[in-house]
Chains A and B, each alone.
Chain A
Amino acid sequence: MPEERIKIALTKGRVEQQVVPLLEAAGIDCQQLRNKQRRLIFDSDTQPYQFILAKGPDVTTFLERGAADIGIVGSDILTEHQSSQYELMDLGVGVCQFVLASTADFDPQAPRRKIIGTKYPRITQRYFDQLGRDVEIIKIEGSVELAPLTGLADAIVDITETGTTLRENHLKIYDYLQPVSTRLVVNRLALKQHQRLIYQFVDQLAEVVSKSSKELAK
């Protein structure tokens, strides 16, 4: 078993499903991740990698505290949690968009202080600050679409990939905010401590990402 190891915190769920094929194409041993059962931490038998499966916000906490060397997580979470680590690569997967959405009768220009439901209060605050508008923000943990439908909020700020969930809930997009995608982030000090191993991992993955983005562009 390799002596020096780098710890990679991978966001479980959709990010994990999209990133594992990229890792495998880059020659990274994901055998243990494929047969994970209920385990959350895996050591490769043949390569100097340890994978940790965690929720997105926890990936940023592991990174900030140095409990993980590399994090693979959405840019929505990095921005919302004000990550201060090195963002070395856009993996080109998990691509979606922040939007302002509401019911058809919502008037964005109506002269009153609006109530906005969101899972992302910092991003929402920054957006309305840039517009010079004062809003009240309600933090919602899941099914944000419910907020305007139930009268809890006038509108929502959320991420959408295809807009299908919004349409199915009769919600309309009023504005587009920043795009979102999955990023590879590295703890600042870990890059110094494990420079060779981390760049080896990054370069292998970059080759695959560059190839797949070229194929998509054809």
Chain B
Amino acid sequence: MLQHLLPLGTRDEFGRRARRKQQLISVIQAHFKRRGLAPIATPLLENEAVFDPYQMGNYQLYRLLGTDGQTLVLRPDLTLPIARFISATKVPLPRKFSYVGDIFRVSRQLSGSYNQITQAGVELIGYGSLKAELECLTIANQLSAELIEDAVEIELGDARFAQRVVASLTDNASTQQAILRALFDKRVPKYQALIAPYRDQPLYDFLKGWPRLFGRPTDVLAQLTAAPLPATVQPSIDRLKRVVAWMKTTMPKQAVSLDLSSQAPQKYYTGLTFRGYSQAGAGYLFSGGRYDQLLANFQAEAEPAVGMGINVDLLTTLAADQPEAQPRELIYCEPDQWQQAEAYLAQQPNASISLAPDLAAARMEAQRAGARLVDLTGGGVNA
């Protein structure tokens, strides 16, 4: 019976969900095209070494053996293959890329998670100015407004803020890592024990409240202003303030928050990071940030870059809950009426041509599908 069974963590997509997902992808691709992003598609299979900088978290990779014995993987990420492509082809930079594709991450068995995830995204490579972050945020703002009704909150962070604060406390690398791990996982009792040796330092009050350093920009920035933070984090704070002010002016309806107590979405991020979520979603709808060192994994020279991935599956889940705009219609016609049927179809996006051999079969098909039958053979429009 194995021929009927799917491997764990996979699924077929069919009917309303599949249609909705295709519509979302079309809208996303049209949006990317409108903004002048160059489409790029990379293979599902890559050499495992491509993903050395990738932080897998609780996931595993799908591994296969190549014909000459090297380890291949089903890609768990789409940014690193693009970095690999740029390094290998020496495509002139700067350049804006966009992609839509599937990634594969093996999650805990029987946990209800899917291992194949559809992701769309942009990679703006060779751009060192803050304008690259602003373009990503604009895309995130416009797409989320266009695709789902639920309000999306954009959360800003900084990939290096926490490391720089902890480096000002101690030179001991393992202590730094232990504090960061406890902070990022919000293991509060452990974190409190780890910061206890610094209770006589001026920064201690800030350290105590650090696990809660997220929320409305005014509240978070007020805490930052009050804390005797090291000078090394001031550029990060200034950048966050600029972006918050810019968003307030450029997209006044967009909900924005700051989070300076969480780990960056990936360890290759080097600057501003951003993520988006809605109240209804069980995960982040998109995440991204600046990664100026990523190409240095593939070539001698680094390139400044900003990227963002969009979780198309989660978008589909949220969007699929919305009711269909119109009832489906089924058009019944004879072969010589095909052009007439096409003309009707062009005006009715929720219609489809019935391929039933006769009117009786078409009626049954329409009944089964809960659709209205449009009969072009002489009877006019039948309900």
Contacts and interface: CB of A to CB of B under 8 A. Distances in A.
Q: Do A and B come from one complex?
A: yes
Given A61-B112, A66-B283, A192-B155, A87 B185 contact: yes
Given A65-B113, A192-B277, A86 B189 contact: no
A65 B111 contact: yes
A156 interface: no
Contacts of B281: 189
Interface residues of A, number: 20
Interface string B149-193: 000010100000000000000000000000000000111110000
Contacts of B186: 86-88, 186, 191
Given A82-B58, A189-B282, A192-B214, A88 B188 contact: yes
B187 A192 contact: no
B342 to A, nearest CB: 45
Contacts of B155: 192
B257 A61 contact: no
A89 B189 contact: yes
B257 A192 contact: yes
B239 interface: no
Given A64-B111, A192-B257, 4 more contacts: A64-B113, A81-B108, A89-B189, A192-B277
For chain B, which range describes its interface: under 10, 10 to 19, 20 to 34, or 35 or more residues? 20 to 34
A29 interface: no
A218 to B, nearest CB: 21
Nearest to B257: A192
A87 B188 contact: yes
B126 interface: no
B279 interface: yes
A84 interface: yes
Nearest to A195: B215
A121 to B, nearest CB: 14
Interface in A78-117: 81-82, 84, 86-90
A64 B188 CA distance: 19
A89 B189 CA distance: 7
17 contacts: A64-B111, A65-B113, A65-B282, A66-B283, A82-B58, A82-B108, A84-B58, A84-B185, A86-B185, A87-B185, A87-B187, A89-B188, A189-B277, A189-B282, A189-B284, A192-B214, A192-B257
Interface in B107-126: 108, 111-113
B378 interface: no
A84 B108 CA distance: 12
Contacts of B199: none
Contacts of B187: 86-87
A178 interface: no
